[in-house]
A and B are shown apart, each in its own frame.
Chain A
Amino acid sequence: MPIPGVAMTRRRLLGLAAASAGAAFSGPVLTGCSKDSSSGGGSTSLTFMNQSRGQVKALEKLVETYQKQTGVKVVIDSPGPSNFPAKLQAKSQSGDMPDIYSTLTLSEMIPYYKAGWALNLEPQLTGAWKPNFSPTALKLTTVKDGTVDGLGAGIYSAHWEIQTSGLLINTKSFESAGVDPKAPPAATDAWIEQLKAISQKSGNGAFLMASSLSPQFLLTHASNWLTDQEINATLAGTASWKSDGWRKGLQLLAELTAAGVIVNKALPGGNGDNPTVEKFFFNVQDTATIFDGSVAIGVARATAPDFTEYTSQGLPKATNGTQKARVSGGVGKGACINPKGKNVDAALKFVQWLTEPEQAKVFVDMVGLIPANPQVKESDVPAQVAGFASLVDTLQIVPTPFGADARTALISGVQGLVLKEKNVDQVLEEMDTAQKRAK
């Protein structure tokens, strides 16, 4: 029944339809043309897109201090570690890149560097800013000419953290199994014996690692037989993954599987694999040892602040190694500056401020990281980080990043290895094939 006074005439209907069409068109157009609200107002406002969940609180505290000191507002946008890569990629496509954004691994960042989304900081880093970075940190961030096709030499990110990888040990679990957590095993044989003892006590294994960390695990253990040059040659595709050094490196995982010490007899996989492993260690506390990066300490402080009964140490050296073992790691959290942003100078000043000793100390205190700034005293580093920090001098210097294809093949392969569906040679063969196919 028509409502009196609002009868739908043809003209009215056509008008309504035209208005709908107009709204459909004008909506996106107007939205696209709208002025960025963050750039409005008189004061400078910067956006920092942060990947780390462990450093959010420290960053929020620091930007508050920075605003009080300079009047510059820095908005921290933390989409979370899993969503960060996709969100950053979407922003690069929409041309809406933040002023500052977290760096990921070099292989993940190369497209952004090539596309001109990161300011080359090398000219600044050779001046007054240089003392805020240890020589190792600078060496690890320097892209040399010819290392990456289509990318010029330079330093495209500034880091306030150095990252090493090794073992986190639940001291209570060790002690309850009669194993002294303060006495690191001499070599992998002794380590496996320790893990067997703890497994007997727990009834469900003693060691866990996220599949996504298998590249670091392999790089670290294979360094018992391979030099940095040999490792780099394989990553660059000029040497094979099927060499003896890699075989022996991966064999450790097969030995851990055979010893029955892997928790739940499987390695977690997928985007959330490392958070899952960290949850078992820090929150549920039912896993005695995990292989992780030093950044895990920050996660622990954010998600399980009351749990402190753990220590860190390096992966034990190989029983029959021919080289001095070196740890896989690199620079940890840091930032890139968007050179196409509206406030490049202000962004640079903020990142420079962020890497100064006072701010580095805040990161160390709140996050428990290994500082890239050499002016922070060793005694300031928390006890849990000490084991990871002691590995900084043994970091591998390998300029070529781990390729995505070999990495994907390894991540899938180690899961199959622990499930006893594949052997070491099959995994290495798949890595070799994947790397060649991608080339």
Chain B
Amino acid sequence: MTARSLEGVVLPRARATARRGSPLARRRALMAYVFLFPAVILLAVFTLVPFVQAIVLSFQDWDGVSAGTSYVGLANYKFVLHDTVFWSSMRNVLIFGAAGFLIGNALSLGMAMAVNRVHHGKAFFRTAFYLPGVFSVVVIGMMFSWLLAPNAGILNRMLGSVGLSGLQHNWLEDPATALPAVAAVFLWYHWGFGFILYLAGLQDMPVELYEAASLDGARGWATFRYVTWPELLPVTAIVSLLTLLGALQVFGTVQVLTNGGPADHTMVPTLRIYEEAFTNRRFGSAAAMSVIFGGALVLLAVLHLWFSRRKR
């Protein structure tokens, strides 16, 4: 067990860390647990307890106001299984997931590589591309509502003013364009996050690898395939997981822009759960939907991490 300094001098690791089982190590571990204790308590109160409560609630009937709840067995799950809107919302969210995962990641990586190559104005691009993510989702939603409005919308007016009135469209209320339009807004809002992480990863890459690849005759694609991509794999794994989960949990963008319409064409599970709980006042079936959807997300995250680790 050794640690290597920058100068190549080998240091015994025992000097840097206390020996396992020693009194010093035990005291350090105890102190760490003391520091972790408040966080664990907060985690238990605000995450674990509500999580367990949601599972319990999924077997109960509750209108959100009454003091009492009654156990209904699997009735809520049966209800959800026959809820066509919920299952179509699951299909819709897969489109969001695919868009976030594929297009979002590709866009973030592509733009990060482009910005990494520029010599001047790097800070400007970094700020400009990350800026949308700083705004509140309500601001973004309202902004694009005005932009995509059918009559007074900026986009349609612009199309009309340049003689392309044939392309004017009711973007958010036509089933053919509603989902792509909301997905596009979602991507525009979120891609800056992946971009920043990719850019940080690229800036952290050793120049020597590129120099060696260049000496070996590697050109653009080969450099990306055999140097950039493998070195970026850890960043890619975390960015893709976060963007995928973010896309699958989309709520605010959809709620402000279309609220699931027209005729449920942009309905997503989070919104359906919200509607079931706060509009239909069936918190039990809303909890059952949450358990099913949450379980699917956990499964997906585990699969993704497993796949990423295997690739590494």
Contacts and interface: CB of A to CB of B under 8 A. Distances in A.
Contacts of A14: 31, 34
B211 interface: no
Interface of B is mostly: loop
A89 to B, nearest CB: 5
A273 B260 CA distance: 12
Interface stretch (B35-43, B180-188, B293-301): B35-43
A270 B259 contact: yes
A36 interface: no
Contacts of B174: 266, 419
B82 A271 contact: no
Contacts of B264: 412
A265 B79 contact: no
Interface in B32-53: 34-35, 37-38, 41-42
Contact of B35 (A17, A25, A204): A17
A48 B148 CA distance: 37
A92 B174 CA distance: 39
Given A115-B66, A404-B281, A405-B280, A21 B175 contact: no
A423 interface: no
B262 interface: yes
B82 to A, nearest CB: 7
Interface residues of A, number: 46
Given A24-B41, A266-B174, A114 B66 contact: yes
Contacts of A117: 65
Interface in B217-249: none
A21 B152 contact: no
B263 A412 contact: yes
Contacts of A416: 262-263
Nearest to B262: A415
B259 A269 contact: yes
Nearest to B39: A24
12 contacts: A18-B34, A21-B41, A211-B261, A270-B260, A270-B261, A271-B259, A404-B279, A404-B280, A405-B280, A408-B279, A415-B262, A415-B263
Given A114-B66, A264-B170, 15 more contacts: A10-B27, A17-B34, A21-B37, A93-B64, A111-B64, A115-B66, A265-B170, A266-B174, A268-B173, A284-B151, A408-B275, A408-B279, A421-B175, A422-B263, A437-B79
Interface of B: 27, 31, 34-35, 37-38, 41-42, 63-67, 79, 82, 85, 150-152, 170, 173-175, 255, 258-264, 275, 278-281
